[in-house]
Amino acid sequence: MPAFVATDPVGYEKFVGRWSQRLAPLFVKYAGVTAGERVLDVGCGTGNLTAALAGARVAAATGIDLSASYIEYARRRVTDRAVVFEVGDALNLPYPDGTFDRALSMLALDVLPDPNRADFSRNLNVIGKGID
């Protein structure tokens, strides 16, 4: 089996992405995401969860990831108008307070250098929801 290279989105899709594509719609349903919400996908990688959010008819789905190559791959793959992909740091989110109704992260919290600093609640609006 070839070595997995974390900066290679095509390799990631062959290794993990093919499974996250199947998991993402189930996670969106489990999280109770509803149409019209503004949702942040933290550590979006190649965009599988963000794409599933678009399928749930959210008003806006923003995927953020530190890897520029993953973001470029996601932008080429997901063309829904409700979806935006941005390069950024999950531990230093560039969004004003209250920007999103919900923040989700499917496969990223375990790779953060300091997951205890991962507090996305300030970016949620007052009626924001998340999974405990």
- pLDDT tens per residue across span 14-64: 877 788 889 999 999 999 999 999 999 999 999 999 999 999 999 999 999
Q: Looking at per-residue confidence, does 127 or 51 come out higher?
A: 51
Whether the CB-CB separation of 40 and 98 falls below 8 Å is answered with: no
Average pLDDT, the chain: 83
Please say if the pLDDT value at position 120 is more than 70: no
Cut 0.95: pTM above it? no
Q: Which amino acid is at 97?
A: D
The residue whose two tokens read 């974390």 is: 6
Whether the CB-CB separation of 90 and 112 falls below 8 Å is answered with: yes
Where does the chain show beta strands of DSSP type E? 38-42, 60-65, 83-87, 100-104, 124-129
In the numeric block, which tokens belong to residue 71? 């973001």
- The CATH classification number of 9-129 equals 3.40.50.150
pLDDT at 131: 46
Whether the CB-CB separation of 74 and 47 falls below 8 Å is answered with: yes
